[in-house]
Amino acid sequence: MKIAFIGGGNMAAALIAGLAGKVTPGTNIHVVDPNPAQLEALHAAHGVTTGASIDAAVTAAEVIVLAVKPQAMREAVAPLVPLLAQAGHKPLVLSIAAGIRSADLARWLGGYDAIVRCMPNTPALIGMGITGLVAAGGVNVAQRTAADQVLRAVGGTVWLDDEAQIDAVTGVSGSGPAYVFYFIEAMQQAAVELGLSAAQGLELAKATFTGAAQLAAQSSEPVALLRERVTSKGGTTYAALTSMEASGVKAAIITAVKAAAARGHALGDELGRD
């Protein structure tokens, strides 16, 4: 499978790391980015071919991944319009951008509708990503399968029926790794304030997240039950969870996830106006 990336930044690098040499040889991946340092790093790591601008090497691909910032998308895809019209086949356009709606993207692409919109996350870098996807009207079965294959190479996939749901995916799992890192940072800081070294605190916090997340992933029991098993009546965990409830931590997390989803929706409104 030939895959092209428009934008070779953080998220593209995470996807390419999972794809190169697994789904397709690195030499079958073409990356377009105006930043030469970015291209050089990706070429050195994975053997991808590169270009500073969009040309026929992009539309020769079966899958074109749009991986620029939402605000850069409209301008970035403009050079694709004549090339898609000339291509002898119909490549799948796979957008990973937060907020940008398929209908706006289709309009910017001159009415091109073979579009899958998706929301991956950075653990893709180590094959542990999770991606929500939704197909626009012009996507055929083979293209849907290709999109699934690309994202499955870097983790799990969850298909959605309704594009409006993808803002929720953005809030939960697209942005989610940052919440987990934030929690690890807070646990490390607490460890230091309690007299452990920064290195000890980091090791304990990271291993706790890895272990608890794996336990939840591998267990068929409800997560609430796993939590209750840690929590002895009148014990230490009870003291911590009571403190969290009193500080409104759960409510704050729910509000934060909703803020991310709302920002995704607002980006779609703002950028789709043009």
Ligand X SMILES: O=C(O)[C@@H]1CCC=N1
C-beta separation of 4 from 61 below 8 A: yes
Closest CB to ligand NAI among 171 and 174? 174
By the rule CB under 6 A, 129 interacts with ligand X: no
CA-CA distance, 43 to 255, in Å (whole number)? Answer: 41
Residue nearest to ligand NAI (CB): 9
Q: Which helix (H) or strand (E) holds 84?
A: helix 80-86
Closest CB to ligand X among 175 and 188? 175
**Contacting residues for 193 by C-beta, under 8 A, at least 6 apart:** none
By the rule CB under 6 A, 174 interacts with ligand X: yes
Which residue, among 148, 140, 128, has the nearest Cα to 214 in the 3D structure?
128
- Given ligand NAI, ligand X, none, residue 72, with its beta carbon under 5 to 8 Å by kind, binds ligand NAI
By the rule CB under 6 A, 173 interacts with ligand X: no
Residue 217 one-letter amino acid = A
Which of residues 95, 131, 143, 170 is near ligand X by CB under 6 A? 170
By the rule CB under 6 A, 7 interacts with ligand X: no
Closest CB to ligand X among 157 and 175? 175
**Contacting residues for 245 by C-beta, under 8 A, at least 6 apart:** none
Q: Which two tokens stand for residue 80?
A: 């694709």
By the rule CB under 6 A, 123 interacts with ligand X: no
Site residues for ligand X per CB under 6 A: 98, 170, 174-175
| Residues of each annotated binding site for NADP(+) | 6-11, 67-70
